[in-house]
Chain A
Amino acid sequence: MAAKLKVRVDQDKCQGHARCKSLAPELFDLDEFGNAHETGDGSVPAGLEDKAWLAQSNCPEIAIEVTEE
């Protein structure tokens, strides 16, 4: 059983590159200015773990945190 993951976007760091939304649309949403936030409470559904790590490793502002619960 893999550990359960959570994603969180640091609102002070996000500059709206929208890479996370493109790579993991299930886990991130954009506001009217195009800045990102995690969907719901940030819990990553089983099977989407790779997408969480992919989004994290493509954010140019290092604004995405992935934690294991």
Chain B
Amino acid sequence: MSDSASIMPEHPPVTDWINDFDHTDPVWTEDPFPIWEKLRAASPVVHTERFLGCYMPTTYQAVKEIAYDTEHFSSRRVIVRDVRPEITARAPPITSDPPEHKPAKQILLPPFTPDAMKKLEPRVRAICNELIDEFIADGKCDAAARYTKHIPVRAIAHMLGIPEKDGDLFIKWIHGILELGIKDDNALMEAVKEMTGYFAGHLEQRKKQPTDDLISTLMKAKDKDGNPLTDEHVLGSLRLLLIAGIDTTWSAIGSSLWHLAKTPADRERLVKEPELMPLAVEELLRAYSPVTMAREVMRETTVSGCPVKPGNMVLLSFPAANRDPAMFPDADKVVIDRKENRHAAFGLGIHRCVGSNLARMEMTVAIEEWLKRIPEFRLDPAGKVTWSEGTVRGPRQLPLLFGKAN
């Protein structure tokens, strides 16, 4: 458990977004879109003294410049936090820079190709229907707690070859790392320690008896010199897969259902024209991109003409890039059949999300199975939608009523 000494002082409320932004402010958490518009109008790159100094690129172009520039911007820290302790728990390849990045990523790519995902798809469809069976008769549910949260947890557990029922543990660790950990160092360290211990046990089991799953695939993999990966590397990559693979997709599915609950025209269109699903999934990814990444400035340079200095972090907001009207006409509108859509929800450049094909498949299947069983649904006016804070954005409470409104 965390003691109070490890928790950073509460952040004062933001009054000057342009010079003092804070992505953990409750106003940002509730509705970040008008804030991004304001920041973008001010400058392609803004700065805050919070988080020991942090920049934020506000345009698609500025985000792209930083994502492509691995010379001046390091990935060794990928979460903007109140503190910058020594780097102890790496998670290759997301925390790797060139030249270490490519060999670490090559190991993870083959298990996540679209063809590999097709093999997993039937299990994910079954998971979705098992979940819907549990609440459909009630006529309502909190879709975040009962549906969207469990789909990625069970899917990644299935791939890794660990029990799907351990899902609640994973969710607790991820909350400790991605939300509490921004301001509470002990909560983060505790969660990383528990997670590492859990996976170390699974590694030991497989050393005695190899299995046919993603953990064993990683244990059998060789590095660029032909040597087996160290346990530390395998544990780091497993931490990454669990952290990156769960509340990201949970958020994307949740935001999609939230949008469809409050937008009958889009919902009815998807029910009538299921062939639109691939374009719709990309548009929902663009409009409600869940993941904001980070970089650390290593050397002085400029981004879209703005100087950036070492010692600062960068809040690399792919979600804000995806709302830039210079890149996307009607950027703040969900156009469910948008044709031209170079969105950056999965990043740009060498750190393109390794699980993007998994996330797309899970989103597609989760929305399709939901619409087949519950084609009519709406937000429950008696409940409240709440959103996660910080690095990954999505609904954490999503009360829905099924059927037509009276």
Query: B-contacting residues of A (Cβ < 8 Å)?
Result: 15-19, 21-23, 30, 32-34, 54, 57-62
Contacts and interface: CB of A to CB of B under 8 A. Distances in A.
Given A15-B352, A17-B352, A22-B278, A34 B109 contact: yes
Contact of A17 (B106, B278, B356): B356
B304 interface: no
A32 B349 contact: no
A15 B340 contact: no
B7 interface: no
Interface of B: 106, 109-110, 112-115, 278, 282, 339-344, 346, 348-350, 352, 356-357
A32 B108 CA distance: 11
B341 A16 contact: no
B352 A16 contact: yes
Contacts of B357: 18, 34
A37 to B, nearest CB: 14
A4 B113 CA distance: 31
A59 B283 CA distance: 14
A68 B226 CA distance: 44
A32 B106 CA distance: 10
Contact of B278 (A23, A34, A62): A23
A57 B340 CA distance: 5
B205 to A, nearest CB: 28
A15 B350 contact: yes
Contact of A18 (B106, B114, B342): B114
A55 to B, nearest CB: 11
28 contacts: A15-B349, A15-B350, A16-B352, A18-B357, A23-B278, A30-B113, A32-B109, A32-B113, A33-B106, A33-B110, A33-B113, A34-B112, A34-B113, A34-B114, A34-B357, A54-B339, A57-B339, A57-B340, A58-B282, A58-B340, A58-B341, A58-B342, A59-B342, A60-B342, A60-B346, A60-B348, A61-B348, A62-B342
A53 B90 CA distance: 40
A54 B338 CA distance: 11
B221 to A, nearest CB: 13
Contacts of A58: 282, 340-342
B116 to A, nearest CB: 9
A34 B348 CA distance: 15
A54 B298 CA distance: 38
B342 A16 contact: no
B280 to A, nearest CB: 13
A63 to B, nearest CB: 11
Nearest to B346: A17
A18 B282 CA distance: 12
Nearest to A54: B339
Contacts of A22: 114, 278
